[in-house]
Amino acid sequence: MRSLNQEPKLVVYGILNPSSNSIKVMVTRTYPLNTESNIGLDDIYVDARVFIVDSESQDTVELQQLEANSTIYEIKQSEFDILPGSEYMLRIESEGFETVYASTKIPIEVINWTECELIESMVDDLEDYAQGFEIIGTWPKSDIENNQIVVFHLKESRDNGNGNIETRSYTKGIYVDFRETDHSFIFESPPFHIYKPDEFEPEDSYRWYVEEINAVLITTDIHLYNYISYYLLTENINNVMDGGSFLDLFRGIMPEFSNVEGGLGVFGSCMTDTAIIYRLNK
């Protein structure tokens, strides 16, 4: 990244959501690539003053670092309302760094699922105790210019052999397509499998099984949409090179995305609708 060859800059990540209980902004810093000393975890922290400003009323709130050596600055949303359709500015001041500015306009409305469901699907090489599925969901096209991306979260568990249950979660982002036939959007996940722990053989009890699946429809501002799009583009690159050729990896020039003036990072906003589409009956 060309920016990493420049002087140290503040790095910002903040997403405003009217339905969240709090406003949080992460603040850290870069080091030039030619830095000679070793950089430890404690070196990423900066002392900063972080402000959110309502662009119309100019009401301002300062976020607080709730504990020492934390990159997170936050405040309860009960102290400063984030409203749909409103625009907010971010300002960050830190000694030795250029002052950071950014802005976001909250989507004017949340787009809700019309339907979202788990359907059976063919998955190759499944064991007897697994079932193939995919997720299909739709939502209506809005007259308001908004951007939607879908992510789905899987929470998995397993018996670690010591009488304790381990859990893990992961998230996958999905691009979506517009369907001309009924002017709706649709997404279809890749097929995946769900293990059925009640059908495990004793020797299979260590396997991970799915406890819950949520599909989250995220309506974003343009900054968050671009940021997620770039992330998904790089995440989905196929790392298997046919015959040693790097051409299969090409997905276009990867831009260094940032909407932060004076620093790096993303300051955006979103509204969400979550559908719980699978929950294991215990």
Tokens of 273: 């609708």
Give the domain extent around 136: 115-256+270-279
Domain stops at, among 36, 70, 105 = 105
Are 74 and 6 contained in the same domain?
Answer: yes
Are 140 and 249 contained in the same domain?
Answer: yes
Are 188 and 97 contained in the same domain?
Answer: no
Whole-Å CA distances, 42 to 14, 27, 29, 68, 173 = 21, 13, 11, 11, 31
Indicate the pTM of the whole model: 0.78
Answer whether residue 179 is part of any domain. yes
Q: What is the pLDDT of residue 243?
A: 41
Q: What is the pLDDT of residue 146?
A: 59
Answer whether residue 265 is part of any domain. no
Q: What is the pLDDT of residue 239?
A: 39
Are 119 and 225 contained in the same domain?
Answer: yes
> Which segments of the chain have a pLDDT < 50?
1-3, 237-246
Answer for the pair 105, 221: CB distance below 8 angstroms, yes or no.
Answer: yes
Domain stops at, among 74, 105, 136 = 105
Give me the number of domains the chain comprises.
2
Domain stops at, among 105, 123, 147 = 105
Q: Is 251 exposed, middle or buried (0-12, 13-18, 19+ CB in 10 A)?
A: exposed
Q: What is the dihedral of CA 120, 126, 130, 135, to 10 degrees?
A: -30
Are 56 and 101 contained in the same domain?
Answer: yes
Answer whether residue 27 is part of any domain. yes
- Cα dihedral sign, 233-230-84-144: negative
Q: What is the pLDDT of residue 2?
A: 44
Answer whether residue 85 is part of any domain. yes
Are 22 and 144 contained in the same domain?
Answer: no
Q: What is the pLDDT of residue 245?
A: 46
Answer whether residue 263 is part of any domain. no
Q: What is the pLDDT of residue 140?
A: 82
Q: Domain holding 17: CATH number?
A: 2.60.40.10
Q: What is the pLDDT of residue 1?
A: 43
Q: What is the pLDDT of residue 242?
A: 41
Are 252 and 190 contained in the same domain?
Answer: yes
Answer whether residue 186 is part of any domain. yes
Are 51 and 140 contained in the same domain?
Answer: no
Q: What is the dihedral of CA 77, 30, 174, 270, to 10 degrees?
A: 20
Answer whether residue 247 is part of any domain. yes
Are 29 and 91 contained in the same domain?
Answer: yes
Are 44 and 123 contained in the same domain?
Answer: no
Task: Give the span between the Cα atoms of 182 and 185, in whole angstroms.
Answer: 9
Q: What is the pLDDT of residue 104?
A: 96
Are 143 and 243 contained in the same domain?
Answer: yes
Are 41 and 156 contained in the same domain?
Answer: no
Answer whether residue 261 is part of any domain. no
